[in-house]
Amino acid sequence: MVISIIMVIVGLVTMLALPIAQFPKVVPPEIFIQADYVGADAQTIEAAVATPIEQQMSGVDNMNYMYSVNTNNGLMRLFVNFDLATDPNIDQVLTQLRYAQAQSQLPPDVQNYGVTVQKSLSAPFMILSLNSPKGTRGAEFLANYAYINLSDPISRVVGVSSVTVFGAGQYAMRIWVKPDQLAKLNITVPEIISAVNSQNAVNPAGKIGGRPTPPGQEFTYTVLAQGRLKTEDQFGSIVLRATPDGAVVRLRDVARIELSAADYDVVGRYGGKPSAILALFQLPNSNAIEAEKGVKKLMEELKTRFPSDVDYQIPIDTTKSVTEGIREINKTFWEALELVMLVVFIFLQGWRAALIPLAAVPVSLVGTFALFPLLGFSINTLSLFGLVLAIGLVVDDAIVVVEAVEHHIGEGMAPKEATLKAMEEVAGPVAAIALILSAVFLPTVFIPGITGRLYQQFAVTIAISVLLSAFNALTLSPALAALLLRPPHKTRGPLGYLFRGFNRAYGRLTNGYVGVCRALIRKSAFSLLFLGLVAIGAGWFGKTLPTGFLPEEDQGYLYINIQLPFAASMDRTLGVCKQVEDIVMSTPGVESCTTVAGFTLLSFTRNTYCATLWVSLKDWDKRTKPAESYQAIKASLGKALSRVPAAIAFAFPPPAIAGVGTAGGFTMVLEDRSGKDIAFLADNVAKYMAAARKRPEIASINTTFLPSVPQLYVDVDRDRVFKQGVNLAEVYKTLQTFMGGYFVNYFNRFGRQ
């Protein structure tokens, strides 16, 4: 009995410290590399940035696969997926080392801008909206307030990998050059870049009076010099040209300088109003519940320092479904426990006898938690499901002991002697049953991959609880039986009538069952035929029923993707977003809508003709009508979005397991292993998608490969360039600056670089 008390105490202490999650750790670690090549198109960044990095990354230890996404806004994202059993920290180090080998092959502009290598999941676990309720703050202010004051503190919360701000670019000193003025003054763009680089620089100047010094030196002074520039006036005073007669051409003479956004590719909205949208990404294998609590606590602290007319909301919180799911399982757990208690009491028909198995159940279940840290388990839906199922199993061993002891007490033996006699008879069968049940579940430990991880915690939890139940049946149950059980006596009153009626009904049921068994034993051919039909039916149902990784569940939110005709402008995209927002907010069961125009979640790319909407649904207890169910909302949105004429818009579910993909369904990658051109790959992608659409199992299929987006080609006359003595590289640099922008260097302001 003392051992059981210790088991319960250790189990309770361990349970309070265990992490809580929706599923076990089944998400393979993923490291992503992001590079910016300002002004570059998709093919250029693929050839100059993605290819050298991928060549060096190939063969990194324990890598499953890798893929990159290159876009026309100069952004490259490379995702490296590792084996489930690896350590994400080691994976990041290995990825960083492989990237370092490719760094010397990258263009200088990419290296100067900086390349990010970090571990993260592929979809955000929380979305924050920073907005201006009265509309006095613009999107640029809100986004940069988030960059300067929120991004760093949030990223330091335990469990948060990174924070991405949508809505407006970070503050940059924009230099809008005037081509006509450059032509008049015969000044080139490379000259401007050179002047900014030389005059907006860190200039350490040393000190005066430092040793070695002559005797009597009394002071040492640090010398300061003009360093990085900060204001528009300072940048405007940059000297581009100075002549001996005193004439000076400054930057303000040929350009307009302003503090503005670094890019204008993305627009964020919440409730139809300009907002800064913060997407929070979770660290692999971290506790989402703890991260969510940490973020909410931090935001309440930061809110006290918000400027006037600035507020925040949390439109998407993926941990709500985790909390709600675990709450429902806890409810089911207690309902199952109460049902078992009722059944045990009715069958054993005495509180003394019923108390023994009821005491054994919590000892076995709570004691199971004590082994979770040793196995790396968490409290999740699967482990709790295992405990719910184990309730009916762990009670059996104690019932076997109680019935055996009561049998000998009924023959006139004292409780202690009856217990010793009973344990001589049932100890072997109890141990054998526990080992057999464990042998049924434990082989799932050896199933590899994500599927194996999903089954492991469920099965191992049951196996542990069954073994602890057998241990309790051999230790706790005999001790309680010797202390509590007494010779049987006739129960009187209403309870006696209930027991006698139940015994009569159960006796008739038992006799009927025995009669059926007697008849089937005599007709073995019929029994075998019936068994064969059952086996055939099970096989038929197993083949015909639809299969899948995990069922699509109501997680409290869903996504909408919008795609306009290729090369459509941002203004057109915002107009369609307004239409879709009106449709979404008029749908029953929807609570809020968060829009990011210029970004698609399906490929994590930015372009002017795409948008992503996060649709937050009302809490589950507030959606009681049939039209407010998840499937009804998704169907209603799909029907309404199909009538939007200016774009293709569709709703799709989040991934069944957070971090395994960005959406529900599955993802495939079509590779051109022959090394041919883009047209060859595009032709085969079109054929593949046409064939896939004919499959009845596939409801819809989309691709992020968009080779037919309209583009313009600039044909530089190289012969003429060289004849005029112009550097060809400067021609392309000027073209890049005029058409796509050029990153020169950094400046310091607001305490940031």
The candidate with the shortest Cα–Cα distance to 307, out of 138, 128, 172, is 138
Mean pLDDT (whole number) for 686-713: 80
Contacts of 620 (CB under 8 A, 6+ apart): 324, 554, 556
Query: Tens digits of per-residue pLDDT, 228-245?
Result: 888 888 888 888 888 888
**Which tens digits make up the pLDDT trace of 591-608?**
888 888 888 887 777 888
Give residue-wise pLDDT tens across range 367-416. 888 888 888 888 888 888 888 888 778 777 888 888 888 878 877 788 88
- Choose which CATH entry (1.10.287.180, 3.40.50.970, 1.20.1640.10, 1.10.260.40) describes domain 324-487: 1.20.1640.10
How long a stretch of residues is the chain? 753
- pLDDT band of 1, cuts 50, 70, 90: low
Three-class SS of 556-581:
CEEEEEEECCCCCCHHHHHHHHHHHH
Q: Are 177 and 717 in contact (CB under 8 A)?
A: no
- How would you class 346 by CB atoms within 10 Å of its CB: exposed for 0-12, middle for 13-18, buried for 19 or more? middle
**Residue written as tokens 């009715």?**
346
Question: Is the Cβ–Cβ distance between 588 and 564 less than 8 Å?
Answer: no
Please give the Cα distance from 275 to 269 (Å, whole number): 5
Share of the chain above pLDDT 90, in %: 3
Mean pLDDT across 414-432: 84
| Domain range annotation of the chain | 28-120, 324-487, 495-542, 557-678, 679-704
Contact status, residue 91 vs residue 82, Cβ threshold 8 Å: yes
Q: Do domains 28-120 and 557-678 have the same CATH topology?
A: yes
Write down the pLDDT at residue 631: 87
In the predicted model, is pLDDT for residue 467 greater than 70? yes
Identify the burial level of 588 via C-beta atoms within 10 angstroms of its C-beta, where 0-12 means exposed, 13-18 middle and 19 or more buried. middle
Q: How many CB atoms lie within 10 A of CB 91?
A: 24
What's the first-to-final CA gap in the chain, in angstroms? 65
pLDDT at residue 247 is higher than 80:
yes
- pLDDT of 718 strictly over 80: yes
> At residue 222, does pLDDT exceed 80?
yes
On whether the CB atoms of residues 275 and 92 are closer than 8 A, the answer is no
Lowest mean pLDDT across 2-6, 204-208, 647-651 = 2-6
pTM of the entire structure?
Answer: 0.77
pLDDT band at 695 (very low <50, low <70, confident <90, very high): confident
Q: Mean of the pLDDT values across residues 149-158? A: 89
pLDDT of 660 above 80? no
Query: Is the CB of residue 573 less than 8 Å from the CB of residue 565?
Result: no
For 485-519, the pLDDT digits (tens) are 777 767 666 777 777 788 888 888 888 888 888 88
| Position 298 confidence tier, pLDDT thresholds 50, 70, 90 | very high
Highest mean pLDDT among 292-301, 449-458, 566-575: 292-301
Please tell me the distance from the alpha carbon of residue 158 to that of residue 145, in angstroms, as a whole number.
Answer: 22
- The answer to whether 108 and 292 are in contact (CB under 8 A) is no
Q: Which residues pair with 558 in a beta bridge?
A: 615
Q: Are 27 and 121 in contact (CB under 8 A)?
A: yes
Q: Is residue 659's pLDDT more than 70? A: no
Dihedral sign computed on CA atoms, order 579, 584, 588, 592: negative
Query: Is 706 a residue whose pLDDT tops 80?
Result: no
Q: How much is the pLDDT for 500? A: 79
Residue 182 token pair: 């450059």
Chain-wide mean pLDDT for the chain? 84
Give the number of other Cβ atoms within 10 Å of residue 72's Cβ: 20
What span, in angstroms and rounded, lies between the C-alpha atoms of 745 and 318? 38
pLDDT at position 53: 92
Q: What is the mean pLDDT of residues 634-640?
A: 88
Record: fold of 557-678: Alpha-Beta Plaits (3.30.70)
User: Which superfamily does 28-120 belong to?
Assistant: Multidrug efflux transporter AcrB pore domain (3.30.70.1430)
Cβ atoms of 25 and 285 closer than 8 Å:
yes
Token digits for 17?
Answer: 């410290």
625/617 Cα distance (integer angstroms): 13
